[in-house]
Structure 1
Amino acid sequence: MPSLTFPPTPLHTPPPSTKEKLDYADLAVIDISKARTAEGRLELAAEVKNALLTHGFFYVINHGYKQDETDRMFDIAEVPFSGVSNEEKQPYTHNIKESGSFQGYKRRSYWHIDNGVQDQLESYNIHRNVNKLPHPPALCPFLPEIEAFCKHNFFNVIHPIFRLIALSLEIPEETLVNMHNYDAEGETYVRLVKYYPRSEDEIKTNNVWLKGHKDFGSITILWSQPVAALQIMAADGNWRWVRHIDNALVVNAGEALEFLTGGYYKGTIHRVRQPPPDQQGYERLGIINFVLTDDDVELTPLTGSPVLQRAGIYATKDDNAPTMKAWRQSRASAFGTSELKKGTQQRVEEDVINGIVVKYYS
């Protein structure tokens, strides 16, 4: 619970929710508090399984953070953008293409969107070990709260979700938990991100601010915020909006989970596009937790899952299977900077990474 002893920060005032009638995705709502009992986990495992097989996205509620605690984190999320000058940001800005890591700042206009248009989002990425790298002085007073936030996410949200996924695959509950250790080498991190409104170039990018893609980790956790911009590709090939729910989390599957389940659970294609007309003048502030396995985990189908076996998916020796470290470094280096080739589908482009075709959708 935030207290008066915490350092002050400007209050982030969230924009009003859109009043536009949008075509929203019908996503499941998972009450994670039910996961405290064995009976509750079995019930939720079935719900998570259905959600992953239909949309690959679902909401999580009753996750242990109250609304005022969430509001405080959004106040803190503003600090690395409005509280740090462009000159002060420079030492904490890293070459993502060379390092294969998103840690620190990703500055605006680093990624190419389409037809010569560069992105207008800025992010500051913080490893779950908040002391792994130095931070701008303006952010340092908030590191204890950010660390508590990372630990809460990891042990009260991420691990319970992995237990539910394991149960849905009929394997021991701790199987995926043991691949995602808090103190192991890896790059699970929190991203504080701000999308700045664009006044032009929308026609050149078909109103897309970030191309449709799959995240390369296991799962991604997004703190719901009111500016409508996130869309998922539904099974019928149409884009549908993700509705804002106060103090809910939006969870989606990534490529690592797709690899670990042999494609049974697929990474979800999603994109960010221009908000509806009544929100187009607002900045879009976000908090995202990207969850990756430990670096040394080989991304091959999980051994012994009766569910995967019944689906005809078996774990076999694959000398070409990447480790999480190799996959996330390759994907981070190439994202938004590779020269993409046109795919066989309309408005689809492709890149080949470690022999695997990666697709991007406009």
Structure 2
Amino acid sequence: MPAPTIPYAPRYVPAPPTKEDLEWADLPIIDFSLSGTPEGRAALTPQVCHAMQTYGFMYVVNHGLTQAQNDRIFDIADIPFTQVPAEEMKRFTADIKGTGSYRGFKPREMWEIDNGVRDQLEHYNIHRSVTDLQDHPKALQPFPPEILAFTEFNHKKILEPILRILARGLELPEETFIKMHGFDDPSETYVRFMKYYPRTDEDEQKSKNVWLKGHTDIGTVTILWSQPVSALQIRCPDGKWRWVKHIDNVIVVNIGDSMEFLSGGYYKGTIHRVRQPPVDQQGYPRLGVFYFASANEDVLLKPLVYSPVLQRVGINRRFDDEKAPTMDQYRKGRTAAYGMSKLIKKDEVVEEQIIHGVPVRHYN
């Protein structure tokens, strides 16, 4: 039987990795070849849980996707930004403020970064079902089978083992978080293709080289496929900003607010930001591929107080349990407000807004 023919996609050529001596975050590296069995997950639990209690970030290696498959998804990821005409892009632009959903395009200059400087990033968001809940521009229409295979890989082979390990870390049954993240259940879990473009020197100066303010993610777990343009920084436990280093065919995983809420603060939604790349990469765009996981829409984001671990160590709440929003309420509120609502300045670094009774902080 002949092999199936895959549709043509222009080859995306990324920037070469930086040669600058940057201060890199010392993130743990987790070998996911062990994640397929209960015994392997038990062995990984101390490493993963320590990472999620301290940095809130980790690298994942040996995840099962080859470098060639990785390259192919980046080829597809670049199509929305290079092969879709401007008029068609407008037709598929998401009504982010009106719906609280990112499905479709987010155009450049929608958000204010600082001192009147607008963002220079575009992204195209695809619900994990790929075609069930949204249509796509003509240039992307040959690729849903590959994109769906990619979403299923992220969900089944990366997200679900992580959720099982995080449940183990709380001494809960492995399926605890799995039941909150059904692949076919109502949820806004999605793939994001995102592209940052270089900015003017004037904008860099006005915004202090920050491309996206320090923030925590909305959902439960974020899966980022490493790419070579260095721009991502995390705020480390000592308060310093350090760079996240690119490693070929590696996944960067971090915890979002919703998992912090569910775990009673045991796992940390780490503050991270995007800033201007180092000098030897400043002329290049930055293409990113993400899988943003959210719990099912009806999940209440309150601590799992029956966890034996939380009963021993205590619970760090960001809001009273009776005021807990659902995943759907919190996601829509955060999404609709981001970059388009007034922030309250708390001090020289921190700005704040309230979303469904939850204080959400941004770090300038």
Which region of structure 1 is more displaced relative to structure 2, 87-96 or 288-297?
87-96
Match of 2:321 in 1: 318
Query: Which aligned pairs between 1:73-92 and structure 2 lie closer than 5 A?
Result: 73-92=73-92
Which residue identity lines up with residue 144 of structure 1 in the other structure? Answer: P
SS in 2 for 1:202: helix
Match of 1:139 in 2: 140
Compared with structure 1, are the counterparts of its residues 250 and 169 closer, same or farther at alpha carbon in structure 2 (3 Å cutoff)?
Answer: same
CA distance in structure 1 between the aligned counterparts of 2:71 and 2:168, rounded to whole angstroms: 33
How far 1:265 sits from its partner (Å)?
Answer: 1.1
CA-atom RMSD in angstroms: 1.4
- Counterpart check, 1:100 vs 2:82: no
How far 1:219 sits from its partner (Å)?
Answer: 0.8
How far 1:314 sits from its partner (Å)?
Answer: 9.1
How far 1:43 sits from its partner (Å)?
Answer: 1.4
Structure 1 gap segments, 5+ residues each: none
Match of 1:266 in 2: 268
How far 1:192 sits from its partner (Å)?
Answer: 0.2
Contact persistence 1:303–1:314 (CA under 8 A):
no
Match of 1:152 in 2: 153
CA distance in structure 2 between the aligned counterparts of 1:288 and 1:76, rounded to whole angstroms: 13
Compared with structure 1, are the counterparts of its residues 48 and 128 closer, same or farther at alpha carbon in structure 2 (3 Å cutoff)?
Answer: same
Which residue identity lines up with residue 259 of structure 1 in the other structure? Answer: F
Match of 2:336 in 1: 333
Match of 1:351 in 2: 353
Match of 2:217 in 1: 215
Contact persistence 1:230–1:271 (CA under 8 A):
yes
Which residue identity lines up with residue 245 of structure 1 in the other structure? Answer: I
Structure 2 gap segments, 5+ residues each: none
Query: Which aligned pairs between 1:5-84 and structure 2 lie closer than 5 A?
Result: 5-84=5-84
Match of 1:205 in 2: 207
How far 1:165 sits from its partner (Å)?
Answer: 0.6
CA distance in structure 2 between the aligned counterparts of 1:36 and 1:155, rounded to whole angstroms: 10
Contact persistence 2:222–2:253 (CA under 8 A):
yes
CA distance in structure 2 between the aligned counterparts of 1:179 and 1:327, rounded to whole angstroms: 15
Deviation above 4 Å: which 4+ runs of structure 1? 314-317
Summarize deviations over 1:181-209 as a string: whole Å, max 9, x none: 00000100000000001122111111000
CA distance in structure 1 between the aligned counterparts of 2:118 and 2:292, rounded to whole angstroms: 23
SS in 2 for 1:161: helix
SS in 2 for 1:328: helix
How far 1:348 sits from its partner (Å)?
Answer: 1.3
Summarize deviations over 1:153-205 as a string: whole Å, max 9, x none: 11111001101111111100010011000000010000000000112211111
Contact persistence 1:227–1:275 (CA under 8 A):
yes
Query: Which aligned pairs between 1:271-286 and structure 2 lie closer than 5 A?
Result: 271-286=273-288
How far 1:317 sits from its partner (Å)?
Answer: 8.5
How far 1:91 sits from its partner (Å)?
Answer: 1.1
With the length of structure 2 as denominator, give the TM-score of the two structures: 0.96
Summarize deviations over 1:69-91 as a string: whole Å, max 9, x none: 00000000010010001111111
Compared with structure 1, are the counterparts of its residues 314 and 332 closer, same or farther at alpha carbon in structure 2 (3 Å cutoff)?
Answer: closer
SS in 1 for 2:138: coil
Which residue identity lines up with residue 183 of structure 2 in the other structure? Answer: Y
Match of 1:235 in 2: 237
CA distance in structure 2 between the aligned counterparts of 1:5 and 1:173, rounded to whole angstroms: 39
Match of 1:123 in 2: 123
Which residue identity lines up with residue 188 of structure 1 in the other structure? Answer: T
Contact persistence 1:308–1:314 (CA under 8 A):
no
Contact persistence 1:57–1:250 (CA under 8 A):
yes
Contact persistence 1:228–1:275 (CA under 8 A):
yes
How far 1:92 sits from its partner (Å)?
Answer: 0.6
SS in 2 for 1:146: helix
Q: Share of identical aligned residues, percent?
A: 55
With the length of structure 1 as denominator, give the TM-score of the two structures: 0.97
How far 1:67 sits from its partner (Å)?
Answer: 0.2
SS in 2 for 1:124: strand
Alignment partner of 1:224 out of 204, 223, 226: 226
CA distance in structure 2 between the aligned counterparts of 1:6 and 1:91, rounded to whole angstroms: 27
Alignment partner of 2:297 out of 284, 295, 298: 295
How far 1:151 sits from its partner (Å)?
Answer: 0.5
Contact persistence 2:119–2:211 (CA under 8 A):
yes
How far 1:37 sits from its partner (Å)?
Answer: 2.5
Which residue identity lines up with residue 179 of structure 1 in the other structure? Answer: M
CA distance in structure 2 between the aligned counterparts of 1:302 and 1:347, rounded to whole angstroms: 32
CA distance in structure 1 between the aligned counterparts of 2:320 and 2:345, rounded to whole angstroms: 32
